[in-house]
Amino acid sequence: MSSSGNVVIWFILMVSMFIMISMVEGEPQVPCYFIFGDSVVDNGNNNDLITTAKANYFPYGIDFPTGPENGRFTNGRNKADFLAELIEFDNFIPPFATARGPEILKGVNYGSGVAGIRDETGYRWGDRISMNRQLLNHQVTILRINSILRNVTAAKSLLNKCLYTVDMGNNDYLNNYLQPKYYPTSLLYTPEKFADVLAQQFSRQLKTLYGYGARKVAVSNIGLLGCLPEETRVFGRNASGCVDFINNYVQLFNDKLKPLIDDLNTNLSGARFTYINITSISSGGPANDFTVFDKPCCIVSDTIAKGQCQEGEIPCSNRNQYIFYDNFHPTEVANLATAKRSYNAFLPTDAHPMDISQLIQTQ
């Protein structure tokens, strides 16, 4: 056989092998996934910050493949990890703190414990990466992507196709408005006015994200903060089993967030924002094995890292039955349940105008 014939056979074999590998591994449903948020999605960005809001110690990460040094505020995977799996990424999305080289083309996680929409939120605990700072970090990532691809048009096209999720606002209440000893916001604003000011600032941030090329953006509302073990411990329980006034404050913000999403979709060309309703998702749905709804799985600290797991203490063994791992954060199984319903809505109220599985299919 001639050398040219050998080349043709070699080429056919290589193409066939590539197709087979692609079929086995599969491609993600979007080329990249960028994650903005607080400790619900933080996967190590706070590890090297001067802050008590970090989770790179045992018993955090007890069920995570690499152990506690991963920096997730739960026993295993967080919500963003599970969404990445549902979207069929082979690996976890890396934290901005360590993401380098071509891996950033698949996405970056900017999440930071105690971060908020407002820059001062969470300062009591030390350093944190606010939403504004996360947007600055995303600018850095975009410059790096431009450098890797050496083509601004190609980079823009890539960014337009990615999925973006935003989980912000929890700490603007927990570690700001509800702590008048450390923050003046509750003295400056009524609950209604604070919700209005917060929504306006968040709107500007989401428009900035759109300006950086984001088109498919899933924005979570604030869940039932009044049902967190830490809040019921501090404020006591109403007949509902939760702290009603906190949930009422949060609802004022959520009531503004949904029309804000509609406004962005109406006024920004090509925008595909969607509203993920954590309140709906956490208020009932498919049967699960949860039996403990109001207590933490781990022994929590009452000193420096108040409400977080006490370092070195053994957590509960029946972790799949607990909603909360510490006084603030969900267990791995609760994160999975939330991710699944964010991706595929179980109730019509779970997502508006579409769930994440529909969002990533939009053109």
Catalytic machinery residues: 39, 326, 329
- The phi and psi torsions of 298 (rounded to 5 degrees) equal -95, 165
User: Kind of pairing, strands 272-276 and 216-220?
Assistant: parallel
Question: Phi/psi of residue 35, each to 5°?
Answer: -120, 125
Beta-strand relationship, 351-352 and 272-276: antiparallel
256 to 195, 218, 249, 281: CA distances (angstroms): 8, 16, 12, 18
Residue of 334, 342, 338, 244 whose CA lies nearest to 290: 334
> Cβ distance 222 to 170 under 8 Å?
yes
Q: CB within 8 A of 264, min separation 6: which ones?
A: 203, 206, 207, 210, 271, 273
How many CB atoms neighbour CB 100 within 10 A? Answer: 8
